[in-house]
Structure 1
């Protein structure tokens, strides 16, 4: 079974979400990848748990890199992006924040949004 290693950090998007710990790590991920979908979540959040398989599917089936940020462990990072509620998804394209989605959304809607930036 493959594990996340430093070798996975190239320009090919990983097929599993990347758990981010801190602003520097997220900045590096955004700088190294064309499109990054960042899921700001909390373990105790019901809608976040419902969103998790959708986010995993997007990581596996789209060209976007998917990052997950635990807002309880990364409060400063969540605050830096103005996250006030979870789940919040922040989409980056070419190093810039281009979208912010608050709340639970369907897989088709999120896939279309991601693919509009990866096409």
Structure 2
């Protein structure tokens, strides 16, 4: 288990270095080591198709539990093999409705481009890691 985490950390570090090099070269790419802001259904579909495991955080800025969940989501993005995407439900109401999001925070896990898990409400880091590891 420790070897797997070390390997993930090395991969994430390499991704960060590659991202920094790309920015220096003027061709910045989003890092999978930090959450990706999603602004449309097409963007979400593209992210889900490009990555094996994607955790999508449907949130609202005014939501207290969402604010408490934010550092957990950032840690999961940095320390797991999952790509993390964030969807502001106020700015993307149709997208939230399309995925049946009725309350925030709601987390959807995509594996191989398909939604496979739904978590509603505040979640701890161990729970998120467990769900991700089941599909990674």
TM over 0.5: yes
The gaps in structure 1 that reach 5 residues or longer are none
Which of structure 1's runs of 4+ aligned residues deviate more than 4 A?
Answer: none
Aligned partner of 2:46 in structure 1 is 28
Q: How many pairs were matched up?
A: 114
Q: TM-score, normalised by structure 1?
A: 0.90
Larger radius of gyration: 2
Looking at secondary structure, tell me which structure has more helix per residue: 2
In the aligned structure 1, how far is the partner of 2:123 from the partner of 2:41? 25
Aligned partner of 2:61 in structure 1 is 43
The gaps in structure 2 that reach 5 residues or longer are 1-15
Aligned partner of 2:86 in structure 1 is 68
Kindly report which structure 2 residues correspond to 1:81-92, keeping only aligned pairs within 5 A, or say none.
81-92=99-110
Structure scoring higher RCO (CA < 8 A, sep ≥ 6) equals: 1
